[in-house]
Amino acid sequence: MTLKTVLVTGGAGYIGTHTMVELLGQGYEVVCLDNFSNSSPEAIKRVEKIAGKKITTVTGDVRDREVMSRVFKRPIDGVIHFAALKAVGDSVKRPIDYYGNNVGGSIALLDAMHERGVHRIVFSSSATVYGVPEKLPIEESAPIRPINPYGQTKAMVEQMLLDWCMADATHTAISLRYFNPIGAHESGLIGEDPHDVPNNLFPFITQIAIGKQAQLTVWGDDWPTPDGTGVRDYLHVMDLARGHVNALEHAFGIGGHATVNLGTGNGTSVLQMIAAFEVASGKKITYQFGPRRAGDVAACWADPSLAQRLWQWQAKLSVERACADGWRWQQQNPNGYRD
């Protein structure tokens, strides 16, 4: 492979940092653009330490045209676009901020790419675009019916990328629909660092184990699942990171738009996750049951066979391994990157 330069928007965030480690390890040059609205410059230093390589960092917003023209002054071969707001509940409270950042940011990015003749993009979509699944596992051909503004922004950007690819045969876009990323790099140097009370199960559990949260509320014990708690497809973040490099390499090969699930294909219930984490950490996770939350679904897991067919990608790391890696990160960094 000739050395290629990849622009990573939102690279300082949870999935971006792990993907930059993978990109640098595969010999790519990385330019990271982040406004640090939900991350810290320290995260980039940690990635450089793991990889033993430098990252060109630009501090700024994808919606800022002056910043974008500065970013694209250097030759960029492809883009991985993570920069977005990502909290479902928050998106219900301030939808216009979500449309502005996630959809508006993607439009500004595509404009800047067009000006500079950059034709390849890998986009962070989400299993949220499926809404309430009709059947499991969820295939890419399942109906797109998001049930909150966050999911709507992801579906809109997917549609925009499809149209962008239809307009020009040299354009390639891969929308990766992630299921539930968890865990951390095995070094314990990088990991998920929520600024507020975590929205997702896994970081909430790690914060209970470290003493920052008192107790977990498990929303619903009467779902139609084997133990009555919600079932999700938890994917190790390093498997997810590897999927991005596969997608990018694919994008260098062909034109057109593809939507691809990245998940393990297996479901894990909340109680199973708690048990796995207790074994990995040796800590007791106290929990109580609460009522089902509106908008939640009983179970959701991926059919990941398209990624397997296209790129021979499949998840390799277990939930147990993700628990051990996530716990290492939390123990070594009780206050995240602020330590």
Ligand X SMILES: NC(=O)c1ccc[n+]([C@@H]2O[C@H](COP(=O)([O-])OP(=O)(O)OC[C@H]3O[C@@H](n4cnc5c(N)ncnc54)[C@H](O)[C@@H]3O)[C@@H](O)[C@H]2O)c1
3-state SS class at 1:
coil
Is there binding between residue 301 and ligand X (CB under 6 A)?
A: no
Q: Which residue is nearest to ligand X (CB)?
A: 13
- The backbone torsions φ and ψ at residue 56, rounded to the nearest 5 degrees and listed phi first, read -80, 120
Query: Which C-beta is closer to ligand X: that of 196 or that of 214?
Result: 196
Stretch of residues binding ligand X (CB under 6 A), selected from 34-42, 288-296, 301-309, 329-337: 34-42
Q: Within 10 A of 104 (CB to CB), how many other CB atoms are there?
A: 16
Q: Within 10 A of 132 (CB to CB), how many other CB atoms are there?
A: 12
Is there binding between residue 336 and ligand X (CB under 6 A)?
A: no
Query: Which C-beta is closer to ligand X: that of 101 or that of 253?
Result: 101
Is there binding between residue 63 and ligand X (CB under 6 A)?
A: yes
In whole angstroms, the minimum distance from the beta carbon of 193 to ligand X comes to 7
Is there binding between residue 46 and ligand X (CB under 6 A)?
A: no
**The one among 130, 178, 234, 337 contacting ligand X by CB under 6 A:** 178
In whole angstroms, the minimum distance from the beta carbon of 9 to ligand X comes to 6
3-state SS class at 296:
coil
Q: Quote the CA–CA distance of 195 and 81 in Å, as a whole number.
A: 21
Q: Quote the CA–CA distance of 334 and 329 in Å, as a whole number.
A: 8
The torsion defined by the Cα of 110, 94, 337 and 321, in degrees rounded to 10, comes to -80
Catalytic status, residue 287: no
Closest by Cα among 91, 124, 139, 134 to 299: 134
Query: Which C-beta is closer to ligand X: that of 97 or that of 221?
Result: 97
3-state SS class at 96:
helix
Is the distance from CB of 252 to CB of 79 less than 8 angstroms? no
Helix (H) or strand (E) holding 312: none
**The one among 20, 83, 121, 323 contacting ligand X by CB under 6 A:** 83
Q: Quote the CA–CA distance of 269 and 226 in Å, as a whole number.
A: 8
Q: Which of residues 91-130 bind ligand X (CB under 6 A)?
A: 101, 105, 124, 126
In whole angstroms, the minimum distance from the beta carbon of 320 to ligand X comes to 19
In whole angstroms, the minimum distance from the beta carbon of 233 to ligand X comes to 11
Query: Which C-beta is closer to ligand X: that of 106 or that of 229?
Result: 106
Length of the chain, please? 339
Is there binding between residue 233 and ligand X (CB under 6 A)?
A: no
In whole angstroms, the minimum distance from the beta carbon of 103 to ligand X comes to 11
Of 99, 130, 150, 234, the active-site residue reads 150
Angstrom CA distances, 109 to 84, 115, 249, stand at: 12, 10, 20
In whole angstroms, the minimum distance from the beta carbon of 84 to ligand X comes to 3
Q: Quote the CA–CA distance of 95 and 206 in Å, as a whole number.
A: 29
Is there binding between residue 191 and ligand X (CB under 6 A)?
A: no
Q: Which residues are catalytic?
A: 150
Where on the chain is the footprint of ligand X (CB under 6 A)?
A: 9-10, 12-16, 33-39, 61-63, 82-84, 86, 101, 105, 124, 126, 178, 180-181, 200
